Amino acid sequence: MAMLQDIFRVVFIGIGATVVMDLWLALLRLVGVRGLDFALVGRWVGHLCRGRLAHPAIAKAAAIPGELALGWGVHYAVGVAFAALLVAVQGGGWLNQPSVLPALLIGVATVMAPLFVMQPAMGAGFAASKTPAPLKNCARSVVNHAVFGLGLYLSALLVAAVAG
């Protein structure tokens, strides 16, 4: 039963952290900073499921039915997976006594996924090297993932308080 409780806690922490990141991204959009279109994530995953990993420009690839919903679903599933990674690295005790540093470190470490997997596969190059402002894009990604890490910590605090 305790293992099932831990699974639910990890799921809520991952969802909560992803919500925190999404709120951050919405705030950035309000001040004119354009972010990732999750429909393009869904398009990439849809093509990946059909056997195609890389694209010269994912925006020019054929649309996938339901790509926006798929992209958002993948976004949240990955957030839960990264929360599980944090608990796997820190151990189950972290769920009862969350600390900020491990959450921030895992959050920042998760930036490797977009920089070295998704961006190259979607046509933006390694670490956004094929974009007009690679360093700016990389820095923005690091900050976004640090916010996700902060979200891991804040969500874990909330879940620990509720689970009491």
Per-residue model confidence as pLDDT tens digits over 25-49: 999 999 999 888 999 999 999 999 9
pTM of the model: 0.96
Nearest to 17 by CA among 77, 108, 79: 79
- Tokens 């831990």 sit at which residue? 6
pLDDT, position 23:
98
Q: For the segment 94-146, what is each residue's pLDDT rounded down to a tens digit?
A: 999 999 999 999 999 999 999 999 999 999 999 999 999 999 999 999 999 99
pLDDT at 1 over 80: no
Nearest CA among 17, 28, 10 for reference residue 155: 17
Phi-psi region of 142 (alpha: psi -120 to 50; beta: other; left: phi over 0): alpha
Confidence (pLDDT) at 2: 82
Residue 164 pLDDT more than 80? no
Residue 162 has pLDDT above 90, yes or no: yes
Distance from C-alpha of 150 to C-alpha of 124, rounded to nearest angstrom:
27
What gap in Å lies between CA 143 and CA 158, rounded to an integer? 22
Torsion sign over Cα 76, 146, 48, 134: positive
pLDDT of residue 140: 97
pLDDT digits (tens, 9 = 90+) for 65-107: 999 999 999 999 999 999 999 999 999 999 999 999 999 999 9
Angle, helix 134-163 to helix 67-90, in steps of 10 degrees: 70
